[in-house]
Structure 1
């Protein structure tokens, strides 16, 4: 039924959701966010929706195995064929019910008709103070995304680099499929977070946790059986932070031309055994491309600083 503006998923975090460190990391949380966001977008529009963007993600707290998790998704803004949804993840131990907010982020979906073409969605009008503030913020974020996209378009990512870099390659499996028969956006984000964490921990030689993701951009769909290439590289360090840029490309494994499907830059924080921040050795680029990407990372920090709020907006 179209017109429903919010969806909440509730479940227990299971042992199979945990990463190698024993807690539920950012990749799995983003899977949950994408599913809840899709449910809200489909409920409002009455159509199948594809993920276009997931962004400004501050990962404040991890989720522990056995926690009760709530992922609330609320429509806050609509364009002609697009919807913007705010997702808030909270969790608590069922034995004490002290609730914490793990993260909050904005997702952009596009509604599709039966022929796979964008289709109009019902207009959304905010009805309370929280919805009005988020509606205004969604419009600000749209402008910032355009500025970031312009900055990204000027960058070159080639093999002319000396940085810490790793490429994962595998085939997209039938278990990765979403409701529309394509690879689920949440799984793609999980792959990106996995590759980014590999780079951060290789560079630091220790534990690193994702603390911020600037924006997952989805350019085209990925299909079951595609060859997937997840290319991650370090582009900037600052104190305990490591900024890792990750590109996902995919295509027919019988061919040679892989097309870009997704991109994101993620910030990882170096931690000691007691989860305290540790300063990493600075990455000092020498090659022109590496120096350009370092400047690009600094430019993105300045652009995003204008967004202001980093803490979740409760309602």
Structure 2
């Protein structure tokens, strides 16, 4: 399998916030944004592994700034690390008000996807080789985030999380 870079999976998606996408305060509903983010992340994952994928987990999504009715939503997604059959995808979200020409950060999150074979079972994915310093930082952090996800999902015992333990066992 050919090793890929985060740039190979880069996906950019743009939506406009319409009345049906908002709550009673005129803000984009969080569920609608998560839906759009899931689509962008799935496209990035599929570009990386050239196979169908399913969402395995969504990390904490914190809403830094609401996106208003009529604003544009920009979502960028790319794979930050590939494991055996799963991939972590990092997403960044911006809102943009064209009338004031103001672009602002709204959200950031990590999604995990699993690649599927023709029978719907997990299949191996290509490894990832980060290029930039930011990509390398995200790549290294992915191991910690993965172990935390596994612990929270009940698939790993905290005592087995060697990468996380190493963070706390360092002398200051």
TM-score bracket, normalised by the shorter chain, equals 0.7 to 0.9
Question: Deviations for 1:16-45, whole angstroms, at most 9, x for unmatched residues?
Answer: 111233211211111111010001001111
Q: Distance in 2 between matches of 1:89 and 1:112?
A: 27
**Structure 1 unmatched runs, 5+:** 154-305, 307-315
* Greater than 3 Å deviation, 4+ residue runs: none
The structure where strand makes up a greater share of residues is 1
| Partner of residue 45, structure 2 | 41
Question: Deviations for 1:98-146, whole angstroms, at most 9, x for unmatched residues?
Answer: 1111110000000001111111111111100110111111111112123
2:96 paired with 1:92: yes
2:130 paired with 1:126: yes
TM-score (norm 2): 0.82
Q: 1:140 aligns with which of 121, 139, 144?
A: 144
Question: Deviations for 1:228-253, whole angstroms, at most 9, x for unmatched residues?
Answer: xxxxxxxxxxxxxxxxxxxxxxxxxx
Q: Distance in 2 between matches of 1:147 and 1:80?
A: 18
Check whether the contact 1:26–1:62 (CA below 8 A) recurs between aligned residues.
no
Q: Distance in 1 between matches of 2:129 and 2:18?
A: 37
Which residues in structure 2 correspond to 1:76-225 (within 5 Å)? 76-150=80-154
Question: Deviations for 1:263-292, whole angstroms, at most 9, x for unmatched residues?
Answer: xxxxxxxxxxxxxxxxxxxxxxxxxxxxxx
The structure where helix makes up a greater share of residues is 2
The DSSP-based 3-state class of the residue aligned with 2:110 is: strand
Q: Is the radius of gyration larger for structure 1 or structure 2?
A: 1
The DSSP-based 3-state class of the residue aligned with 2:153 is: helix
Count how many residue pairs are aligned between Structure 1 and Structure 2.
153
| Partner of residue 247, structure 1 | none
The DSSP-based 3-state class of the residue aligned with 1:65 is: coil
| Partner of residue 59, structure 1 | 63
Of structures 1 and 2, the one scoring higher in RCO (CA 8 A, sep 6+) is 2
Q: Distance in 1 between matches of 2:121 and 2:153?
A: 23
| Partner of residue 29, structure 1 | 33
Q: CA deviation at 1:49?
A: 0.3
Q: CA deviation at 1:60?
A: 0.7
